[in-house]
Structure 1
Amino acid sequence: MASPGLRLFDFARDPAPRTPEGLSSPPPVRETGRMRLFAAVLPPEAAVAELAARVKALRALPGADGLRWTERQGWHFTLAFFGEVAEDILPELHTRLARAAHRHHPHELRLAGGGRFDDRVVWVGVDGDSEALRRLADSAEARGRRAGVPMDRHRPYHPHLTIARARSPRHGSPRHGSATSLAPYVDGLTDFAGREWTVGELSLVRSHPPAPGVPGQQPRYEVVAAWPLGH
């Protein structure tokens, strides 16, 4: 039985969550006893639509084809990355994440501005109560550790939503740097400020890696559980 406040999603039956990559019927995934999981906050569709309009303009800039653009159906703020989690840890992880959600209150954010990580990633940032988001991220990470999830060392949380990545260098090309400058895309986000929305939920998301050997395919994201904040 699900814990109080827990909502389980089945993408085949529940139309509420955004289906990953727009797939109406996700292909079957081979079960291995482990799941690639992370805690996340998902912006509402209205906020996603505003960002999608700006990203559409960015993708019209010269050189945009030199980047790998993430799909809007998968846009999210990662709070804590748990990696490959054994199934026997899941009940404890669910319990502890439910407690984390209960102890944090809903707060207001908006998608705003942007930046980059070196020459690798273009991201969109947030305005509003970002400190509350950082506290939620720290709590999700701590709960994962206490549940027995082996995690990397703690790093200060930097809220960001990835919209594009530099393509990997082709064989025979330089290993470092990107052929496409990210500066124009970051500049194109400088004045972006979306509508205010309420962070009211902590989600546990499963990542299904792309099939090997399929060019351009991106990971699929599946919300497996979500807990309302403050309940």
Structure 2
Amino acid sequence: MRLFAAIEPSPEAVAQLAAAVDGVRDDVLRWSDPAGWHLTLAFYGEVGVDQVDELTERLARAARRHPATRARIAGAGRFGRTVLWAGIDGDGAALRALAGSAGAAGRRTGVGTDDRQRFRPHVTLARARGDARGRGDVRGRGDARGRGGADLRPYVARLASYAGPWWDAGAVTLFRSHPGGPGHSPRYEPLARFALTGRR
């Protein structure tokens, strides 16, 4: 099963972002379902049934070491010509540390990758049609050289000034990703949630 760890925005944050996205939504891009919006911390890929318990326990321990933090969805950006995203404001150092621990939980279980690229907290809003990576990626890797994809700059410009409400990011969720069929986004099933209970 394909698993990843993520933070879920508050319902209010999702509702306000959805209203803003409705103003730029069109048929050019494949838009993600607001019900599945999340901030990916670590993508584990295929995880064997015999590894799930260990991964769950390690992720729970990681969550206990990190404090809850405040966050909001603000601004927009793109990965090359393939992925349109909304940014995350908040304690960047705290989010990076949490993402690092979530990734380490996977590596110690024997899943995920040892990817040291800079963590960029974001919510994926849309993908260029033809981009088949409908998964809970931590980072996108679009083609910055301009081959394929779509011109995402107008969407970024229209959403750049967006700033949603603050919410308490107080838990990490372990999700299972179910692939979507043609024309449909993947479905994300929460398997477990772990409170962030560490001290500041």
Shared fold (TM-score, shorter chain, > 0.5):
yes
Whole-Å separation in 1 of the counterparts to 2:114 and 2:166:
33
Whole-Å separation in 2 of the counterparts to 1:78 and 1:183:
23
In the TM superposition, what whole-angstrom CA distance separates every residue of 1:166-219 from its partner, at most 9, and x where no partner exists? 1118xxxxx9223x42111101111100111110001100000124xxx31111
Instruction: Determine if the alignment matches structure 1 residue 105 to structure 2 residue 37.
Output: no
- Give the aligned partner of residue 46 of structure 1: 12
Unaligned segments of structure 1, at least 5 residues: 1-34, 170-174
Instruction: Determine if the alignment matches structure 1 residue 177 to structure 2 residue 143.
Output: no
- Give the aligned partner of residue 144 of structure 1: 106
What letter is aligned with 2:47?
Answer: V
Whole-Å separation in 2 of the counterparts to 1:48 and 1:58:
16
- Give the aligned partner of residue 225 of structure 1: 192
* Partners of 2:68 and 2:169 within 8 A in 1: yes
Structure label with greater radius of gyration: 1
Equivalent residues in 2 for 1:1-231, closer than 5 Å: 35-59=1-25, 64-168=26-130, 176-178=147-149, 180-211=150-181, 215-230=182-197
* Partners of 1:38 and 1:78 within 8 A in 2: yes
Unaligned segments of structure 2, at least 5 residues: 132-145
* Partners of 2:103 and 2:112 within 8 A in 1: no
CA RMSD of aligned residues (A): 1.5
* Partners of 2:107 and 2:114 within 8 A in 1: no
* Partners of 1:93 and 1:144 within 8 A in 2: yes
Residue 14 of structure 2 aligns to a residue whose secondary structure is: helix
What letter is aligned with 1:39?
Answer: A
Per-residue deviation at 1:152?
4.7
Per-residue deviation at 1:150?
4.8
Whole-Å separation in 2 of the counterparts to 1:155 and 1:142:
14
* Partners of 1:109 and 1:130 within 8 A in 2: no
* Partners of 2:7 and 2:40 within 8 A in 1: yes
* Partners of 2:43 and 2:112 within 8 A in 1: no
Stretches of 4+ aligned residues off by more than 3 angstroms: none
* Partners of 1:75 and 1:162 within 8 A in 2: yes
TM-score, normalised to structure 1, is 0.76
